[in-house]
Amino acid sequence: MDAIPTLDFTAFREGTPAERKAMAMAMGDAFERYGFVQLTGHGVPRETLDAAFAAAEAFFDQPEDFKRQVQDRRTNRGFIPMFDGVSEKTGKPNGQEAFSVGHIWRTTDPELLQLPLYAATPWPEMPGFRERLEACYAAMYGLSQQILAAAALHLGVAEDFFTDASKASYSNMRIIHYPPAEKVAEVTDIGVRPHEDQGLVTLLVQDMNGGLFVLGPAGEWLPVVPNRDAMVINVGKLLKRWTNGRYKAALHKVFNSSGRERYSMPLFVHPSWHTRIDPMTLVGQAPAGPEFEPIVAGEQVYKNFAAQRTSWKAEQPTDNAIN
């Protein structure tokens, strides 16, 4: 069976120029074929990840009323309750609950601060919770910039190309709890429906219970086998569009058949809201079709996201808040 490749990123972080380029080429090849890769040698301390997982378990173990105190229906921040996202195709919700952390280095631009994706995170009153998640966010975001530098090297542009496009990023991290499939079977048959992520890249740390599947090149669902030493990296819609389809944004889903509570932590990496996503600026090509026509990053992501969240449909922000 085909499988998502696992690569040692140490060569890019610490290697010679030749070793860094070889690693960038290997990672880029994985993005072209699968849209996914697992990276060992990523440099994020294990203790930082373990502390964040412990914080996640402690939060989701709290009563529903406590968690809803930090739910903001107008934004993509704070508590996201179970069954919030509903598939337009099947009408079934996702069997998960989450807590969403906004970009910890917030912009000072007053215009951008009015937008939902730049909203402040509403933190619960739990000692150490914020500190542990922000430490994990900082380490994972630092790694994401190295991954994007490697992608830039593979694509033949300056390594700081994506850094320059992300000075006012609206990236966010989530901690996610998936109950065992049998606990939510009366409501839904999936932890997360098949989907593509919205941003540039996603970094994911998953526990050892498994359940993540990626649609492979031959149309088969490939399991992303948990590896305690690895971080899962996947391409999002914005990067697929920006590369004119050279990089693949693969469909992926989660089904927790382990019989245990499953936890994961994805970091969704985005550029600045006003970044123009145009294949001409990255790969020097005219758009290969309508799906690759230039867009404004934040506007497109907000439009896509608002169509998927039940709570956003129930209480949309005002026009002034999103334009």
Give the three-class secondary structure for 262: strand
Is 240 part of any domain?
Answer: yes
Q: How far apart are CA 180 and CA 47, in angstroms?
A: 26
Domain that holds residue 63: 6-322
Q: Name residue 99's beta-bridge partners.
A: 79, 175
Please compute the mean of the pLDDT values over residues 73-91 and round it to a whole number: 80
Whether 265 is in a domain gets the answer yes
Query: Per the domain annotation, does 1 fall within a domain?
Result: no
Q: In the predicted model, what is the mean pLDDT of the chain? A: 92
Helices 17-33 and 129-155, interaxial angle, to 10°?
90
- Given a cut of 90, whether residue 313 has pLDDT beyond it is no
Asked if residue 116 is part of any domain, the answer here is yes
pLDDT confidence bin for 92, thresholds 50/70/90: confident
Structure tokens at 127: 């000692």
- The C-alpha atoms of residue 71 and residue 156 are separated, in whole angstroms, by 43
57 within domain boundaries: yes
CATH number at residue 237: 2.60.120.330
Give the model confidence (pLDDT) of 127-152 as tens digits.
999 999 999 999 999 999 999 999 99
The confidence score (pLDDT) of residue 308 equals: 61
**Confidence band (pLDDT; 50, 70, 90) for 175?**
very high
| Pair 239, 271: CB distance under 8 Å | no
pTM: 0.93
* pLDDT tens per residue across span 214-268: 999 999 999 999 999 999 999 999 999 999 999 999 999 999 999 999 999 999 9
Pair of tokens at residue 266: 């994805």
Q: Which two tokens stand for residue 29?
A: 């090849």
**pLDDT band at 310; cut points 50, 70, 90:** low
Q: What is the pLDDT of residues 6-41, one digit of tens each?
A: 999 999 999 999 999 999 999 999 999 999 999 999
Give a yes or no: residue 268 inside a domain: yes
CA distance 156 to 138: 27
Q: Give the total number of structural domains in the chain.
A: 1
Angstrom distance (rounded) from CA 207 to CA 254: 13
